[in-house]
Amino acid sequence: MKFLEKLKTKDTEFCVIGLGYVGLPLAVEVAKVGIKVTGIEVDKEKVKKINKGINYIGDVKDEELKAAVDKGLISATTDFSVIKKMDVVSICVPTPLNKLKDPDMSFITSALDEIEKYMHKDLVIILESTTYPGTTREFMLPRLERSGLKCGKDFYLAFSPERVDPGNPVYLTKNTPKVLGGITAACTKHSIAIYDQIFDEMVPVSSAEAAEMAKLLENTFRMINIGWVNELAIMCDRLGVDAWEVIDAAATKPFGFMKFYPGPGLGGHCIPIDPHYLSWKMKTLNYKTKFIDLAAEVNTSMPEYVVHTLMDGMNMQKKPLNGSSVMLIGMAYKNDIDDLRESPAFDVYNLLESRGATVCYHDPYCPKFEHFETMVESVPLTAELLRSLDAVVITTAHKNIDYQFVVDHANLVIDSRNATKDLKNIEGKVLRMGGGRTMDY
């Protein structure tokens, strides 16, 4: 049987490197179509959990993972030598930024180091980790061809960006259209042969660079538009206009407008990070990405603006921030998930502490987090505690929070997510960021 035909059967051996927010959902979808998948993960505890059928990713259904493990369709290991018997390797490792906001390629480099050891003829390698345009061709290809194998003839290399939206109940791994671009036409053809069985819709593009750029366009588009509505919130506060009302009114236009909402800053792995990959790449080509830089400046300033809004509210009550007690509601970067990556709530938390406030938090999805090598735990949301606090700041609008209860018992509420918009008895108690800064005192 020719290799291309084998990829269209259930006899394919599939490997996922990195079993996190991207890799584990992918592994489960591969297993669901009857293809055996081996996950490689450096975290030994995650390997143990997977092999016991224990799930740790919110977007994966517990019963689906357990069923796949019980059927022998999913297993996990720390041993990269399994690549020797694989037909397909999908790389789903983190791609963070370093302190200078330059790409940290160490995880991809580590994966390549291991793949190089076990490269073999007819191996399909697909990078899913978001990165800068040119990574697949300029960074990965030369290293893989050191094996003596020729790309497009002896092995196949492509880029297919992950499009995970944590907590999205509608668009999941399987039904989100999958962009893919190979180094050669043969690379695209072989990669699609396997992925076409897993995803509902494939979107082939002409090159790996086009696929890389498409992913960066998606998230840079969101980052820039969020930066604009964040600045809109600041302007509306100064104008005494409700930004949330303005946005909803503009959104009634049936064409030419897409609704974005302001907030305390950007969070998650993609939107705060991916545009900087493009910005970094363009710096190497002597080009300054003005929109990205300006939006980043606005978005990174929003935690400070939330704190200033709190200070304004406390000043109206003739209270100093220094020595006050403040609760943050929500530490996750978005509502109804447990994902803490790059959450702006951390910045708000740290800014409040640096100004002398005593800070606690409540988040039903995130029971604890590490803060300067100390574990901080979520506190219960009780009437007694709320009354004892000087202020509450809503940093994440989880839907299972009773915000009327919060308003009824808190002394002051700073709402950075418009969670209190339709509540009763908010006069004199609530400052909504972007709400025009109106309080009745």
Q: Are residues 175 and 198 in the same domain?
A: yes
Look at residue 351 and tell me if it is in a domain: yes
How many domains does the chain contain in total? Answer: 2
Residue 213 inside a domain? The answer is no
Task: Note whether 70 and 12 are same-domain residues.
Answer: yes
User: Of 212, 151, 159, 202, which is closest to residue 177 (Cα–Cα)?
Assistant: 202
Q: At which of 161, 178, 207 does a domain end?
A: 207
CATH number assigned to the domain comprising residue 38 = 3.40.50.720
- Quick check: pTM over 0.85? yes
The string of pLDDT tens digits covering residues 314-345 is 999 999 999 999 999 999 999 999 999 999 99
Q: How far apart (Å, rounded) are the C-alpha atoms in residues 395 and 330?
A: 5
pLDDT for the residue 371 = 86
Residues 251 and 294 in one domain: yes
φ/ψ of residue 366, rounded to 5: -125, 85
In the residue annotation, 270 being an active-site residue is answered as: yes
Average model confidence (pLDDT) across the chain: 94
How many residues are there in the chain?
441
Q: What is the pLDDT of residue 173?
A: 94
Q: What is the average per-residue pLDDT within 194-216?
A: 97
Instruction: Provide the CA 38 distance to its chain's centre, in angstroms.
Output: 24
Q: Is the pLDDT reported for residue 439 higher than 60?
A: no
Please report the pLDDT score of residue 97 as a whole number: 85
- Minimal CA–CA distance to 20: which of 79, 95, 125? 95
Q: Which of 15, 92, 236, 270 is catalytic?
A: 270
Where in the sequence is the domain holding 153, given as residue range(s)?
3-207
pLDDT in tens, 222-276: 999 999 999 999 999 999 999 999 999 999 999 999 999 999 999 987 888 899 9
Last residue in a domain, options 155, 183, 207: 207
- 3-state SS, residue 214: helix
